[in-house]
Structure 1
Amino acid sequence: MKNFFIITLLLAFLLSSCSAYFNQPLGIQKAVYGANTPATTSLAKLPKPKEQVVVGVYKFKDQTGQYKPTEQGSTFSTAVTQGATSILIKALGDSKWFVPIERENLGNLLNERNIIRSTRQEYLAGTDTKDSQLTPLLFAGVLLEGGIVSYDSNIITGGFGARYFGTGASARYRQDRISIYLRLVSTSNGKILNTVYVSKTILSQSVDANLFKYVNFKRLLEVETGFTRNEPVQLAVTEAIEKAVEGLIVDGIRDKIWEVDAPSSEVTAFLDSYTKEKEEAELGLLYKSDQMERRDKLGVEFDAGGTYMAGDYPNPIAKPMIRGGVKYFFAPNLDISGSASVFRLANKNKLDVGYSSLDLNLEFLIFPYNVFTPYIFAGAGANFNSAFKNFSGKTQFGAGLEYLVTSNLGLRLYGEYNLNFSDNIDYVVSGVRDDYYWRFGFGISYYFNLKGKH
């Protein structure tokens, strides 16, 4: 029965971890049209232009010079696609803002036109020469230049695993990043009209589980399974290029380089949305966080939890605790917190008493700009019983986690160690060590929106 439970738990972990496990490629698959990206949808939703712009792209190439990394070193296969020019031309066409013209293989086009011209001259001699003339080639009003400028591997790596008596599971992940630059150049005077910089992360995940256990004497059960999922680099390049094209179009609308065939109210709302997105991106840090202060200067806290006594009596029992407090931030990651608590301390068949405490803590948030952050705190306080007697000073320190559900409301979980300057907390003075107790709490934080910044 125990082995059955272990196997069931192992399979449940694996099968519920990701839908990729249920879609394993067990047969030959037919060719399909290329997958779209979220940026493809954004391009299609752009307001339409009054007049399309003829654009030329000579080369949008890989400027990183990197080869694909492997565990043994590297191979002669490049880290990113060499067909970025084709991706850019398709994105320009999908936007409906540009008329891309052939420039990457211009020599092939000119050769073919020469063949057509010489053939017509040879076989249509004596006929109307106007019918034998080719239409002129379009010339570009603007050129697009730039390329893929960086491919950074392993900017974030990590994972988690556990094993117990031959049964284990683990998950690992890795994040890479690709960056491109795209610039718009006027063919009339060579002026660079705009430059756009876009980055896109590339995620790789691995999940595996295994079981190695004797289910009976001389009978060994061994089970191993798992999967790995890698985000295609080509799709990441495609999404970054499409996002760059979108940025060029919107910047051109804002700078009045071209005109939009849409009502002014719709254009204004669209530009405001783009400006907000760009401002948030400019605040972005490398590891997917930003520098926006998420917590206002003043906040209040309400917690409930339990206490665990460590005094002169054996067999401590967990008892309830409630707490309320107020905090003030000196800096985004540093605040001072004052609180009052009511709690009980108990030992089995020996002690069950009520206490109140007043605490003053200095708190430090590890990731103050994230919605989820660990924090540490330390400070001093005082205990007294319900009759305002048995007064004692104390010091406390601990750590916790906070998650912001909204810009004003956060959830908190913490643990705290309280060292008292008295051995009489349990009303027994014995030995040389002062009494202490643990407190664990879960509650909410509310931050007043005094500045109206959220």
Structure 2
Amino acid sequence: MRIFYKAILLLGIFLFSSCAAYFNQPMFQEPSRTGEFSKSTRLLLDLPPAAEPVEVGVYNFSDQTGQYKAVENGSTFSTAVSQGGTTMLIKALEDSGWFIPLERENFNNLSTERNIIRNTKQEYIKNLNPNEPPLPPLLYAGLLLEGGVVSYDTNIITGGMGARYFGLGGSAKYRQDRITIYLRAVSTSNGEILKTVYVSKTILSQAIDASFFRFVKFQRLLEAETGVTQNEPVQLAMKDAIEKAVHDLIIEGIQKQFWSSQGGKEVNDQLVADYLAEKEKDESTLLLDRLQVGREGLNSLGISGGGNLPDNDYSTQNLGFLGRLEYQRHFGRFFNVNLNTSVFKIDNGVQYDNIFGSLDLNGQFALLPNDKLTPFIYAGSGVIMSVLDPVDNSLDFGEPFFKVQYGLGVEYFISNKIGVKLYGEHNLVFTDKLEKAVNGKRNDYYYNIGLGLNYYFKL
């Protein structure tokens, strides 16, 4: 019975972890409904009104990837992305209120219908009403909007996790795809490309499942499983990217003074400032949401504190304190030289304890030098000596010993000047006399763990 309760508990955990999808499973046919907003629809609807909407024509905003939808056994004749890009773009232009979209995609149909109207009016004027007004002229576009979907990348990142124990198991998997579009505005008066914007949108797919398989009694098998899969619609992702592109085109057009809002310069400046702040953040973010940070200078001063754990001849090995000051000089993006001085306590309880000081010189290598979260490794050499007399705790510098050290850590940049770092370090001393006890051939070691701040500056 206890096993049954465990099974119910595990299944419950997995179900509640994705309860939004699990408890909204479709059970009945649903009527048609108005299409959903994307994440960027509100950006367009919240724009201030334009001083004067611009007539635009969209002949074709197409799928330029040439990709077909992938299946397990190859591919199908269904395309990977929607072929209705022109329709989505026209809807986005209409929603913004900054443009007057003109029919150009099916212009032949429009021309044919106008010819029918014109011929009918001519017959009506000739036979019945000579005062019948002529057919008004067509509007012409001051801008043409061109571009399309340029890429659809699948499986740019996949992953998951799972566990199974004694017949109980569960797993979670995810996959991320990406769609990319370009949109450009072309002047019809001289053919100049006024502006081009580039937007990408990720598409997330998730799957969570849980199962239970166990003989609970002789010839009695209990088996249960459940799961849920969520796939972000490609059409909605494409709509989101197009709407974001239209929004960006409007703001960049305001920046270049191609058009303006009704609120004038004050409203325009605020729109541009908000957009540039968002654009700066986007441009500092690499693929897979890796944030980049520009370094303020090639020099840094650091302070850190932590603990010291000895690995020596005594059986009692307690955690002592660690304090450190350091200076770093960077040579390029990846490499820097680190000079630091440390004060720490080696604590072996009642057997031995003393305060030590060390001076170290390290070479440090940053694995992801421009990322906001940067792992690093380092190695070097230094000298260590005791600074107190172990008998009366008076200031007394002991014999210096040569050592080498290596370590690894991670640094998180709060800004381009300040970084928070966490590190761990292994120190190998070339003597067995560090703690005044010699036992066997093994030299003394110790470990440092620290947390600190780095301040970056220019000389």
TM-score by length of 2: 0.84
| Alignment-derived partner of residue 455 in structure 2 | 447
CA shift in 2, pair 1:228/1:351, >3 Å: farther
Q: How many correspondences in the alignment? A: 446
CA shift in 2, pair 1:317/1:217, >3 Å: farther
- Which runs of structure 2 are paired with 1:228-243 in the superposition (5 Å)? 228-243=229-244
Give 1:55 deviation, angstroms: 0.9
Gaps of 5+ in 1: none
Q: Helix, strand or coil: the match of 2:132?
A: helix
CA shift in 2, pair 1:17/1:321, >3 Å: farther
Give 1:13 deviation, angstroms: 4.9
Of 297, 303, 306, the residue aligned with 1:304 is 306
Q: Helix, strand or coil: the match of 1:389?
A: coil
Query: Which AA in structure 2 matches 1:320?
Result: G
| Alignment-derived partner of residue 152 in structure 2 | 151
Query: Which AA in structure 2 matches 1:188?
Result: S
CA distance in 1, matches of 2:90, 2:24: 34
Query: Any idea what the Cα deviations from partners look like across 1:324-359, whole Å, max 9, x if unmatched?
Result: 222424044433331413133337xx7442342423
CA shift in 2, pair 1:277/1:264, >3 Å: same
| Alignment-derived partner of residue 434 in structure 1 | 443
- Which runs of structure 2 are paired with 1:8-157 in the superposition (5 Å)? 10-11=10-11, 13-15=13-15, 17-28=17-28, 29-118=30-119, 126-131=127-132, 133-157=134-158
Conserved 8 A contact 2:322-2:448: no
CA distance in 2, matches of 1:69, 1:27: 28
Of 342, 345, 349, the residue aligned with 1:343 is 345
| Alignment-derived partner of residue 396 in structure 1 | 405
| Alignment-derived partner of residue 433 in structure 2 | 424
CA shift in 2, pair 1:329/1:179, >3 Å: farther
Give 1:378 deviation, angstroms: 1.7
CA shift in 2, pair 1:445/1:171, >3 Å: farther
Taking every aligned residue pair, what percent have the same amino acid on both sides? 45
Q: Helix, strand or coil: the match of 1:300?
A: strand
Conserved 8 A contact 2:81-2:235: yes
CA distance in 1, matches of 2:12, 2:306: 33
Most deviating of 163-172 and 417-426: 163-172
Give 1:81 deviation, angstroms: 0.6
CA distance in 2, matches of 1:199, 1:406: 26
Most deviating of 92-101 and 271-280: 271-280
Give 1:102 deviation, angstroms: 1.2
Gaps of 5+ in 2: 390-396
Conserved 8 A contact 1:289-1:369: no
- Which runs of structure 2 are paired with 1:401-416 in the superposition (5 Å)? 401-405=410-414, 410-416=419-425
Conserved 8 A contact 1:357-1:381: no
CA distance in 2, matches of 1:255, 1:82: 32
CA shift in 2, pair 1:15/1:53, >3 Å: same
Query: Any idea what the Cα deviations from partners look like across 1:254-280, whole Å, max 9, x if unmatched?
Result: 333234322323322322333344445
Query: Which AA in structure 1 matches 2:63?
Result: D
Query: Which AA in structure 1 matches 2:257?
Result: K
Query: Which AA in structure 2 matches 1:48?
Result: P
CA shift in 2, pair 1:16/1:414, >3 Å: farther
| Alignment-derived partner of residue 173 in structure 1 | 174
Give 1:445 deviation, angstroms: 1.5
TM-score by length of 1: 0.85
